[in-house]
Copies of this chain bind each other. A is one copy, B any other.
Amino acid sequence: MSSAPTTLPNNNAAATAGGATPSPTFSPLYQQIKALITRSLQSGEWRPGELIPSEVELANRFKVSQGTVRKAIDELSAENLVVRRQGKGTFVATHHEARAQFRFLRLKPDVGEPLYPDNTIIDAKRLRAPADIARQLDIKTGDSVVFLKRMQSFDNAPTILEELWLPGTIFKGLSVERVLQYKGPMYALLETEFGTQMIRAVENIKAVVADQVTADLLQLPLNTPLLSVTRVSFTYGDKPVEVRRSYYVTNNHHYRNDLN
């Protein structure tokens, strides 16, 4: 009573050039497709903001059904690597958008709508990575890093004071002058100038009190309580590409987090 198989047996081909050995670790087809699409995103075959090929087109290219491509893109969409728009297509995510502006910023005003920050660069230079920064950036102590110190104000109230470290090798052409003149969101700059996309980040939060220097810059009394937020941002392949140490003033703002 056996019926003729209408589907192919499970294999690991998926239209790759170099035939991969049939690994014992099983991986679903849609995961392989997802990896292939991710590689194209990473390589810049489709740039941020651009339209990627339609699902049918990708299905043809990879010799799989549309449903399999769909499931792959579903996950990429859930991870914010791409954005679906019904009737139009699927687009590569970009930090050059109003909505993306606040993607990683959890600090919200206690009352009213979020405002756009005014950025002021306090310091910008190249230096050798301290041990702790190097460890978090997965580089060697003493390697070149770009260092930035800046202030973000909302409605003319100094609210965020932060220091950023970026690996010098990745952002080789990032000049101090370029940073000083730039006013927009940092991740948009890194995206267009270096093709480095921030995909996800991890934040560690502690409570501290302001020392004299910090208090002066934030125009607060000494010992004012502040949120200390240390962020590590990652690009494709879970590669860390930014360490950011921020102080958040929470007198009129709060850090908001949704738990599911």
Contacts and interface: CB of A to CB of B under 8 A. Distances in A.
B80 A260 contact: yes
List of 6 A-B pairs having minimum Cβ-Cβ separation, nearest first:
A207-B225, A206-B250, A205-B255, A201-B259, A207-B207, A204-B254
B203 A256 contact: yes
Interface residues of A, number: 29
Copies in the complex: 2
Contact of A260 (B200, B204, B231, B248): B200
A121 interface: no
A206 B250 CA distance: 5
Interface string A215-244: 000000001011100010000000000000
Interface string A22-44: 00000000000000000000000
A198 B6 CA distance: 45
Nearest to A230: B254
Interface in A73-110: 79-80, 103-104, 106
A201 B258 CA distance: 6
